[in-house]
Chain A
Amino acid sequence: MMRRVGNSCALWRAPARRAYATKISDAWYDVVISGGGIVGATVACLLTSQRRLRVALFEPNAHAFLERAGKEDAKHEYGEQKDRNVSLRTSTITVESEAVLQSCGVWQRIPELRRPKVKRMVVWDHTGYSSAALHAASVLNFDASAASRTQQPEYMASVVENETLLSALYSQLRDVQNENSTSAPSCLDIFAEPVRDVMYNPRGDEWPVIQRTPQPLTARVLVATDGRNSNIRKLFSMPWFSFSYEQRAVVANVIVSGDEQKQDKPGASSISSTAFQNFLPTGPIALLPIRHLASGETVMNVVWSTSDTEAMLLQDCTETEFIEELRDALTGPHALDFKSLAAGSQRATFPLVFGHAPQYVNGRVALLGDAAHAVHPLAGQGVNLGLADAASMANRLMCAAECGRDLGGDGGAVLLNYQKDRLLKNVAMIMSIDAVGRIYKTPGPVAAAIRAMGTGIISSAPGIKDRIMRYAMGA
């Protein structure tokens, strides 16, 4: 069955053999990436790191990203550290994902101040069923330095603004492009447009043809990193299983100053390197350090998952009301003093959905990142799963290229290896995130007892805790 979209009928009517002839075009790529978000841009960086594959990246906002990458570079040079303007969308980059970004020269482009490290994670739940103060056992303290075993880094993750990460990715891509313009044809082309129209029969040997106004492009492999509402996934009718949590996440940046004296552990990391997470009956609320200010305060990014109605209230209430609500929501083992919202930062909400594609590969088309799996943000793992996908895909493609294989050919053997690498791991992670979310959301004393028991067991058994933490770190 020939799958085609759009309005060009010429190819559809042509006999098979003639269609071949039309498709032979000099505009060919080894890999065409649709969607240049964090995951898509990372795939592009990884694939061009050896300068061997011809890659095209389609991203409607590419011009803006490239421009900002230039500005960002200038900003770093002036050492503008006291910038209180922090963007709302942040990502928690685990140590493993960091290695991926490091391998393609991106991580080094982000100044350390822009990627504060999380050395400790404090997780507790406050459901209101235990009327007394919090049990010590129901507070989980994950301290990276305490659990430092063999070659474990002294931190669990870094928090970075999505904008900063994208700028670093695009400044790397820009450098790859510039470097190429001196030699003959480039190994990377960036198109500031979406992939609109693809003609491809996943069962045939032919390459996907990406329709474009001056000249159609052909690609050995079409990588879809165009987000949870992936257009490519829809074009090829790849199945998608999803449901809505009927929740929204409220994001905001707040300025926090911690009371260092009240810390339960002397010598432990200060709040500026601690991530907090409280499981409320309405959903988890997480607090991540994003920027250290010269005044000693910390700008923290709040991701508050809650019911639709409460989210609307939190979005619309005044700043002082919001701070008050936040104080209530994060009553816990730490005295956190919420000063105000960070300058210039509004609040935003987005709906929480769960989604998973049971099949990541269809012929020469592969889904990566959110196009393949949309997860609850409670563990901050969405971007890390996507980066692991990117690393696996790039690794498989580059190894196959070393043997001269047709990257999308052999019945999709190379791409299916990527699926084999990632599918089970992603499902396991998504399911465990979902399960944690559910057990903390379930009302009633039984669930509360399970939670208390669970956290108690986890806290007292160092082996389990260690394992969970390494899992959270992406290892």
Chain B
Amino acid sequence: MHPKLHGGSRQSDVEDLHGQGEGRRGKDKMIRSWVAWRHLRSLGQNVRRCSSSPQSPSVDAAEILKFNALSAKWWNTQGHAAFLHRMNPARVAFIRSVIESLLLRKDAPLAVLTDREEDGSGTCLPLHSVSVLDVGCGGGLVAEPLARLGAKVTGIDGAGDAVRVANEHAKMEASLRSRLEYRHATVEQLVQEQRAFDVVTALEIVEHVNQPREFVASCAALVSKKGGLLVLSTINRTPLSYAATILGAEKLTRIIPSGTHDWNRYITPGELGAVVEGLGFTVERVVGLHFNPLSGVFFLSERNLDINYIMVAAWHPR
């Protein structure tokens, strides 16, 4: 690619973002996307002081520049999102399997290729006609695969540039155009708009929001259908999770930038389960997600929930 051309487009990106930044100000005070939060933390003391006064235009510029630098990295499998990319096949496969078994009531075990009914478009997609909301979609790492599996996906994120990156990346696939939509919005906005979805996913984000209880309640309010699913993934508050995610991933190997996670914000499955059940949901499945450093692959485990885990709850209104 020609360096001059590349530089030119970068310039215009920054201008675009200034425009978006104006409109965004004050919208996402409660929910910060994981990225935003992480990068404010990693900017260091100086920026952290600034972040307490978000009205200052310099902070926005710093955020935008930081976001802009990061935006290209959402889809870089070697960058900061490396773990998320590694995690993706396992968690998408799991989400697909719970949607199939709990919502669609298909008894298709995972990873077994079975002939499915034609959906009329020539390919028979397993999640056809399921509407999914992905809260904190980031670059669309989960939204895209789910749309590829046939679901009608809406991805929202508090960070406008993440939404822009997601849109840009999705443009490459003509087949996703009709099934994938990204919005720069918060869950609260969607609740106000009285939107409704079969499945709401909030992955690796609950531990990054200021008021997790309210956040989960908002997500739950968007699950419309009886039997609709709420899929939450976060990190357990255990000594092992401290060792793995903070000492191991952030301090020792520095795969994730230092300051990404705050151990005190981690939530145990018990606490999360209590919140969810208080909202009229039934916890259906909880699985742990573990990283095998030798093979570099994440795998699911029903028994061990000590670090990352995914909780699936179904809405059963009385």
Contacts and interface: CB of A to CB of B under 8 A. Distances in A.
A399 B122 CA distance: 19
Which of B1, B115, B149 neighbours the largest number of chain A CB atoms within 10 Å of its CB?
A: B1
Interface in B73-88: 75-78, 85, 88
B173 A411 contact: no
A403 B85 contact: no
A313 interface: no
B93 A402 contact: yes
A264 B264 CA distance: 80
Given A51-B115, A402-B111, A186 B122 contact: yes
Nearest to A400: B89
Contacts of A2: 1
A382 B264 CA distance: 59
Nearest to A201: B1
Interface residues of A, number: 42
Interface in B92-134: 92-93, 96, 110-111, 113, 115, 118, 120-124
Given A402-B93, A404-B96, A411 B174 contact: no
A16 B9 contact: yes
Interface residues of B, number: 38
B172 A403 contact: no
A23 interface: yes
Interface string B141-174: 0001111110000000000000000001101111
B303 interface: no
A206 B110 CA distance: 30
Contact of A403 (B76, B78, B96, B173): B96
A184 interface: yes
Q: Is the interface of A mostly helix, strand, loop or mixed?
A: loop
Given A51-B123, A399-B111, A207 B172 contact: yes
B145 A28 contact: no
B172 A404 contact: no
B55 interface: no
B6 interface: yes
A234 interface: no
A187 interface: yes
Contact of A51 (B89, B120, B124, B145): B124
Contacts of B111: 399, 402
B89 A405 contact: yes
A395 B172 CA distance: 25
Contacts of B113: 50, 52, 398, 402
Interface string A1-32: 11000000000000111001101111010000
B5 interface: yes
B117 to A, nearest CB: 11
A205 interface: yes
A185 B78 CA distance: 37
Interface in A16-69: 16-17, 20-21, 23-26, 28, 50-54
A183 interface: yes
B122 A405 contact: no
A410 interface: yes
A65 B181 CA distance: 44
Interface string A293-335: 0000000000000000000000000000000000000000000
B9 A404 contact: no
Contacts of A410: 77, 85, 88
A180 B122 contact: yes
A405 B145 contact: yes
Given A51-B115, A403-B92, A404-B149, A20 B124 contact: no
Contacts of B123: 51-54, 187
A421 interface: no
A404 B122 contact: no
Contacts of A399: 111
A470 B160 CA distance: 59
Contacts of B89: 400, 403, 405
A192 B42 CA distance: 56
A28 B75 CA distance: 21
19 contacts: A24-B171, A24-B174, A26-B174, A50-B113, A51-B115, A51-B123, A52-B113, A52-B124, A54-B123, A205-B172, A207-B172, A398-B113, A401-B148, A402-B93, A402-B110, A403-B145, A405-B88, A410-B77, A410-B85
Interface of A: 1-2, 15-17, 20-21, 23-26, 28, 50-54, 180, 183-187, 201, 204-207, 218, 398-406, 409-411, 413
Given A15-B5, A184-B121, A405-B89, 10 more contacts: A28-B173, A28-B175, A51-B124, A183-B120, A184-B120, A187-B123, A405-B145, A406-B173, A411-B76, A413-B85
